[in-house]
Amino acid sequence: MKIIEVELIRFQYRSKMVRDAEGHSHPGPEHDATATITRIATDEGVEGYAMGGSPAMLDTVRQVLIGEDPLYRERIWQRLRQFQRMLGPSLDDRHLSAIDLALWDLAGKVAGLPVFKLLGGYRDKVPAYASTMCGDDIPGGLDSPESYADFAQACVEQGYKAFKLHTWMAPLGPDPKRDVAACAAVRERVGPEIDLMLDCHHDYSRTEALYIGRALEELGYHWFEEPMNESSMSSYIWLSEQLDIPVVGPETARGLFYTRAEWIVNKASDISRYDVALGGLTPLMKCIHLAEAHGVALEVHGGGHGNLHALGAMGIPGEYYERGLLHPLYDFEAAQPWLASRVDDIDEDGNVTIPQAPGLSWDFDWEFIDRNRI
């Protein structure tokens, strides 16, 4: 089997999500947005898909992929990774991810198996936590500690057993005391049985991060995420030494799973972190195996098809599926009109079922995509 084509399918859709000056998402007025699907086609008619990809990557990607057996994922991944050094943003980790995921999707279809069973299945469902958007000043939104408490209560009533706050970023924050007030309001509202996590402003000082971490310990929080700039591993080593509450990371630090090895060896966090956006499912599984070898937990960042299949193949060292980002005024369930069905519906117990359809279990609404194709 040979790859004969790598194509980007771009289409428009109507979105009600806007990004602020720092790139954080919030509900907003409906507007046109575009999305991209990477499609890899073979001479035997089997195709693989993934969301994402960029025109800037196409020349290099085609140079490596066309004529290659798509089942040589490891060879393709290593070659593209080596290309990254010179290509920079035109072959970013997210672009590499789109290629790798499309190849996993294709392999699953060749095998007639869902990807998590290709990897070796571990579980059929995974508990999800409700992961909020960042704080805002929208009435009825996430504009006060009380609003977070209201939203947490609604999520728990929907079935979630865990809830993660993203609090206020610039220019509405940062504000350590307000972050703690929001965390306290949520804990008071949902009671002691719900796992709570905080992902706050990512640029606090060590002193501010320690202040927040101590408060989270008092409130019985489950983990504490990225309160400082991850480029300073030393800051995280310092913070993890001080705190009992598990510090989670790194999430955005570059350097793929190699960097996670450094964080583990240097005890810069208590729980490691990775997701398919960092180069694909191939490096995510490597990072999971790295963490397991060191007896370190790893929480998968973000949701979606690739992460969910990884969670289906790992019991150790991962716990939760991150579902979101959610907001009281945002219809998350309807946010991907290019899919005939979401992959991550939650049941009444707050679990997401690992999909059983072949490959990454995409359920594209091709009629919608073709109608809106650019």
Name the site residues for a second copy (rule: CB under 8 A). Answer: 69, 71-75, 77-78, 103, 107, 110-113, 117-123, 257-258, 260-261, 265, 282, 285-287, 289-290, 292-295, 313-316
Of 29 and 295, which has the nearer Cβ to a second copy? 295
CB of 75 to a second copy, least distance (A): 5
CB of 13 to a second copy, least distance (A): 32
CB of 123 to a second copy, least distance (A): 7
Amino acid at 73: R
Of 4 and 111, which has the nearer Cβ to a second copy? 111
β 351-353/321-326 pair status: unpaired
Of 179 and 270, which has the nearer Cβ to a second copy? 270
Of 72 and 368, which has the nearer Cβ to a second copy? 72
Of 53 and 283, which has the nearer Cβ to a second copy? 283
Of 155 and 285, which has the nearer Cβ to a second copy? 285
CB of 245 to a second copy, least distance (A): 24
* Cα 114 from Cα 50, distance rounded (Å): 14
End-to-end CA distance of the chain: 30
DSSP 8-state code for residue 307:
H
> In terms of Cα–Cα distance, which of 43, 137, 29, 77 is closest to 280?
77
CB of 124 to a second copy, least distance (A): 9
* Cα 239 from Cα 226, distance rounded (Å): 11
CB of 291 to a second copy, least distance (A): 9
> In terms of Cα–Cα distance, which of 218, 217, 239 is closest to 228?
239
Of 69 and 345, which has the nearer Cβ to a second copy? 69
CB of 314 to a second copy, least distance (A): 7
CB of 328 to a second copy, least distance (A): 37
Of 170 and 293, which has the nearer Cβ to a second copy? 293
* Cα 253 from Cα 232, distance rounded (Å): 9
Helix ranges, the chain (H): 58-65, 73-87, 93-111, 115-119, 145-158, 176-190, 206-218, 233-242, 256-265, 281-293, 305-313, 366-371
What backbone phi and psi angles, to 5 degrees, belong to 38? Answer: -90, 130
> In terms of Cα–Cα distance, which of 35, 40, 9 is closest to 105?
40
* Cα 352 from Cα 129, distance rounded (Å): 10
